[in-house]
A and B are shown apart, each in its own frame.
Chain A
């Protein structure tokens, strides 16, 4: 499989996130949703690639017996195949597991701005300076809670999209994030339901 330069990848993702922030006018919740949607699109395509490439390379992924098995495959094989890193599976129950990511290639340069400051400018991409705000709220600079931004939310979307293609409907979110001050990145995945096998509605007989 072709490889990409980590720094280029991280910088590209960084520009994607900042452009999204500007496009959606500094609305943090909306950004998180968009990142999840983008990840979802990636995930539905990744899963086929993963399953086919691994057969070629001799890594045998049989059908999963349990949700824990699925978790292991996602963590050890999926993440390694696409991102070159592995993560740990913990807190496994029948319907949920947690992934601990100790290193995150997307956020190697990132430092979230201080909360309560301004949003991103349109012209130079920098943060709004605080001088105007201190002098009495000129122009309505928004006070942003940057700690609500889930910078790597794209991972959640990818996992959700990929598992949906194998008939598992899951919900996925970031429980802990190094960028917000925690010591480790934790993604919590919960199984909502197993979908029935079958084609989409448009193919069904009348």
Chain B
């Protein structure tokens, strides 16, 4: 079982704040979120002391990276559990629905959502949110939005891989990819 290697991590900051109090019913509040992509890989070098240099260049604060990594561990447990539950007669083995893990856990003021592809690439999105557990409808709406975001991220990742100059392992270093990820927080309807 290999360790997870970090492919891409990013945090988003919104410069404009909502005027007045953040209303739970208002789902147009800006999301403050971070996104992590990781891939299971026996050649992973995340314990290599040389990789500290790399982390300093990432567009994400260390605290967020820490939160995302803990979410990743929890997600790996979830995935194992889920795989035991799923039988071969269950449902289709491809498609965005199959890859969706869902809400992993709340950490501090964030909620983490996970998604894993058939090639074991894991995507985690952390959303700043104060939906209480009673608010089922809000949770469902947030769920659908996040599903759409995952679909987009997966599509961007696939487009990145089709570039013949892209590396098959290791960090994602594509200008087009980073530009598109920057745009993600602005699109609410897909």
Residues in chain A within 8 A of chain B (CB atoms) = 7, 11, 14-15, 17-18, 109-114, 120-121, 124-127, 129, 131, 134
Q: A131-B54, A134-B53 are in contact. Are A124 and B168 (CB under 8 A)?
A: yes
Complex partner residue of A126 from B50, B170, B176, CB under 8 angstroms: B170
Answer yes or no: B162 CB below 8 A from chain A CBs. Answer: yes
Let me know if A129 and B170 touch, CB within 8 A.
yes
B173: chain A residues within 8 A (beta carbon):
113, 127
Contact with A along B153-166 (1 / 0, CB 8 A): 00000010011111
B170 touches A109 (CB 8 A): no
Residues of A within 8 A of B168 (CB): 124-126
Chain B residues whose C-beta falls within 8 Å of the C-beta of A17 in the assembled complex: 164
Q: Is the CB of B163 within 8 A of A109?
A: yes
Asked whether any CB of chain A lies closer than 8 Å to the CB of B120, the reply is no
Could you tell me which B residues sit within 8 Å of A by CB distance?
50, 53-54, 159, 162-171, 173-176
| 5 tightest A-B CB contacts, nearest first | A126-B167, A14-B164, A109-B162, A18-B164, A111-B163
Contact B169 A124 (CB under 8 A): yes
Closest CB of chain B to A192's CB: distance in Å? 33
How near does chain A come to B3, taking the closest CB pair, in angstroms? Answer: 17
Which B residues are in CB contact (< 8 Å) with A126? 166-170
Give 24 CB contacts A-B under 8 Å. A7-B162, A11-B162, A14-B162, A14-B163, A15-B164, A17-B164, A18-B165, A109-B159, A109-B162, A109-B164, A110-B164, A111-B163, A111-B175, A113-B165, A120-B165, A121-B167, A125-B168, A126-B166, A126-B167, A126-B168, A126-B169, A129-B170, A131-B54, A134-B53
* Cα distance A60–B163 in the bound complex, in angstroms: 39
A110 touches B53 (CB 8 A): no
Bound Cα distance A124, B50 (Å):
20
By beta carbon, the residue of chain A nearest B158 is A109
Q: Which residues of B contact A125 (CB under 8 A)?
A: 167-168
B176 cross-chain contacts in A, Cβ below 8 A? 111
Known: A127-B173, A129-B170. A111 touches B53 (CB 8 A): no
Seed contacts A113-B165, A124-B167; 11 additional CB < 8 Å A-B pairs: A11-B162, A14-B162, A18-B164, A18-B165, A109-B163, A110-B163, A110-B165, A111-B163, A111-B165, A113-B173, A131-B50
**Distance in angstroms between the alpha carbons of A111 and B161 in the assembled complex:** 11
C-alpha spacing A78/B189, complex, angstroms: 43
Q: Is the CB of A11 within 8 A of B170?
A: no
Residues of A within 8 A of B163 (CB): 14, 109-111
CA distance A131 to B170 in the complex (A): 13
Q: Tell me which of B165, B170, B173, B176 has the highest count of chain A C-beta atoms within 10 A of its own C-beta.
A: B165
A121 to B173, CA, bound (A): 15
Kindly name the residue among A18, A109, A121, A129 whose own CB sees the greatest number of chain B CB atoms within 10 A: A109
Q: Name B161's closest neighbour in chain A (CB-CB).
A: A109
- Provide the residues of chain B in CB contact with A18, threshold 8 Å: 164-165
Q: Assess whether B165 is in contact with A112, with CB atoms less than 8 Å apart.
A: yes
Measured CB to CB, the closest approach of chain B to A190, in angstroms, equals 30
